[in-house]
Amino acid sequence: MPRLRTIAIAIVGLTLVGAPAWSAKSPTVAPLGTVIAADRAKVGQANADVGTTVYGGDVLSTELQGSVQVRAGAARLLLLSYSQAMVNDNEGSPSARLLRGSANFSTGNARAFTLFASTAAIRSQTDAPTIGQVTFVNEKELVVTARRGGLSVTVEGETQLVNEGQSFRVLLDPAAAAAQEPAGAGAGQGPAHGSGGGPLKAGRSRFLILAVGLTAAGTGVAIYESLESPSRP
């Protein structure tokens, strides 16, 4: 009996010692953000409701005329009608990859959020409050608009800036875009400033951006208010 009792105590002791070690190795998934407004939207296959927790790898989607807004740290992401994006973590900061449609995002600092679309990464130029909008046209074309503050667009290490109030087409296959242009189109023109103007070429022709025009200041204010107010998706 004493021997059996000793063995039982030893087994219990090993179990207690092993339990904390096993628990310490168990992965912990931290939430990335929270849904603060939703209308005809989903997180994965489930309906998106206010208060739904969003994790890295979750896919957000909206139906026609739908929208969903997520708060993630010092940033907010607003998906517009018939849009889709996968949220994730990018070097310790929230990010999303736009897969379809259009998205607005607001940030409180330059590292607060990055929006990826095809091969481009779009983020705030500075730590000032910034609002950007990106429309996914296809894998080789985006439309990037700086509603408030400036944005930087980076493709394979090359960066171009979009200043406040400007909207640009971002062509991610410059060779194909050049082949489609009429002979001499854009030749000899300098960087675009505001509406019209020639193309802005990245140093190694990783991508090409063409000015679409200026955006109305009132539009930027309206979007800012919608991103600030959970009751206005």
pLDDT attached to residue 215: 61
pLDDT attached to residue 65: 96
pLDDT attached to residue 147: 95
| 176 phi, psi to nearest 5 deg | -65, -40
User: Which segments of the chain have a pLDDT < 70?
Assistant: 1-28, 176-205, 214-233
DSSP string, 167-210: EEEEES-HHHHHHHSPTTTTTT-----SSS--PEEPTT-S-EEE
DSSP string, 106-139: EESSTTS-EEEETTEEEEESSSS-EEEEEEEEET
Task: Using alpha carbons, list the distances in angstroms from residue 194 to 123, 172, 212, 222.
Answer: 20, 21, 8, 21
Indicate yes or no: pTM above 0.85: no
Per DSSP, 16 falls in state H
Tens digits of residue pLDDT in 215-231: 654 444 444 445 554 34
In this structure, what token pair is assigned to residue 104?
Answer: 């607005």
Q: Is residue 37 within 8 Å of residue 231, measured between CB atoms?
A: yes
Place of tokens 């736009």: 98
HSE on the CB side for 39, CA within 13 Å? 11
- Other CB atoms within 10 A of residue 8 CB: 10
pLDDT attached to residue 29: 74
pLDDT attached to residue 181: 55
pLDDT attached to residue 76: 97
Domains in the chain: ranges and CATH: 33-228 (2.60.120.1440)
